[in-house]
């Protein structure tokens, strides 16, 4: 499903279930620690997906350990992102010579709980969600806005090492399956060239919304 959202430089793998043959490296098991069954399943399957995607780049399987603030630590020369939600897990990776950073997020295709849009959306984003909801009521635009912002955060954090609140980026959703995000805060002084414009694609299918941003290595 996600392949169609991605440029050729990005390798992806996804799973709608938890394959029984998915295995963790001992270091990954240690990093997970005590976790409930659901967390163990998503953590294991998404790493299984990540190794399939890394394999598609021609690289060997390696442990993918959580790093600073939970951001995955990819092998040298690789950038990537992972997501999981009920019934879906996905990983996207690319060589850092082709892609500077990546972010992916998947969510159940359901309206956000009451009150959450007010926390997630800037006034103009909420106005756009309302307009798009009138034009295309089959899409849960509020959930999609949330999903795109999480994808942006997952691409922003590995480059900057810095937090981004929901008011820290403005997303323009488009009904053609694309979106643009502009980060509204300055990057940290030690990362002055961090990207602030993110172009992404989204889709709503199989009871899910999925959003992905890809910043090419050649981007200014």
| Contact yes or no for 53/91 (Cβ under 8 A) | yes
**Site mask, ligand COA, residues 37-56, x = CB under 6 A?**
------x--x----------
Q: Does 71 bind ligand COA (CB under 6 A)?
A: yes
Phi, psi dihedrals of residue 66, rounded to the nearest 5° = -70, 135
Q: Does 201 bind ligand COA (CB under 6 A)?
A: no
Q: How far is CA 3 from the centre of its chain?
A: 14
Nearest to 167 by CA among 179, 185, 155, 180: 185
If you write DSSP's letter for every residue of 76-109 in order, what string do you get? TTEEEEEEEETTEEEEEEEETTTEEEEEEEEEES
Q: Does 213 bind ligand COA (CB under 6 A)?
A: no
| Contact yes or no for 121/105 (Cβ under 8 A) | no
Supply the angle between the helices 123-135 and 141-160 in degrees, to the nearest 10: 140
Q: How far is the CB of 164 from ligand COA (least distance, A)?
A: 4
**Site mask, ligand COA, residues 126-155, x = CB under 6 A?**
-----------------------xx-xxx-
Q: Does 14 bind ligand COA (CB under 6 A)?
A: no
Which residue in the set 8, 26, 33, 70 belongs to the binding site for ligand COA (CB under 6 A)? 70
**Site mask, ligand COA, residues 77-96, x = CB under 6 A?**
-----xxxx-----------
Q: Does 74 bind ligand COA (CB under 6 A)?
A: no
Q: Does 72 bind ligand COA (CB under 6 A)?
A: yes
Q: Does 164 bind ligand COA (CB under 6 A)?
A: yes
Tell me whether residue 83 or residue 134 sits nearer to ligand COA (CB atom).
83
**Selected range binding ligand COA among 4-12, 160-168, 189-197, 206-214, rule: CB under 6 A:** 160-168
Tell me whether residue 61 or residue 168 sits nearer to ligand COA (CB atom).
168
For residue 74, the SS3 value is coil
Q: How far is the CB of 72 from ligand COA (least distance, A)?
A: 4
Nearest to 112 by CA among 154, 152, 140: 140
What own/partner pairs with CB < 8 Å and gap ≥ 24 does 53-56 have? 53/11, 53/12, 53/13, 53/80, 53/91, 53/92, 53/93, 54/11, 54/78, 54/80, 54/93, 56/11, 56/13
By CB under 6 A, name the binding residues for ligand COA.
Answer: 43, 46, 66, 69-72, 82-85, 105, 149-150, 152-154, 157-158, 164-166, 168-169
């Amino acid at each position: 499903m996600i392949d169609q959202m991605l440029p050729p430089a990005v390798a992806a793998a996804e799973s709608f279930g938890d394959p029984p043959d998915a295995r963790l490296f001992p270091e990954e098991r240690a990093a997970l620690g005590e976790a409930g069954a659901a967390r163990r399943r998503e953590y294991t399957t998404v790493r299984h997906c990540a190794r399939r995607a890394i394999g598609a780049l021609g690289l060997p399987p390696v442990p993918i350990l959580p790093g600073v603030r939970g951001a995955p630590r990819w092998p040298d020369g690789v950038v990537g992102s992972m997501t999981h939600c009920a019934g879906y897990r996905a990983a996207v990776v690319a060589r850092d010579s082709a892609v500077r950073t990546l972010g992916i997020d998947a969510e159940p295709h359901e309206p956000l709980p009451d009150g959450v849009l007010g926390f997630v959306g800037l006034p103009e984003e909420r106005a756009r969600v309302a307009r798009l909801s009138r034009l295309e009521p089959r899409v849960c635009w509020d959930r999609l806005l949330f999903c795109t912002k999480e994808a942006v955060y997952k691409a922003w954090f590995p480059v900057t090492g810095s937090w981004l609140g929901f008011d820290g980026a403005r997303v323009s959703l488009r009904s053609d399956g694309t979106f643009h995000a502009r980060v509204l805060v300055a990057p940290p002084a030690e990362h002055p060239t961090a990207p602030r414009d993110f172009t992404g694609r989204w889709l709503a299918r199989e009871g899910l919304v999925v959003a992905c941003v890809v910043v090419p290595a050649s981007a200014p």
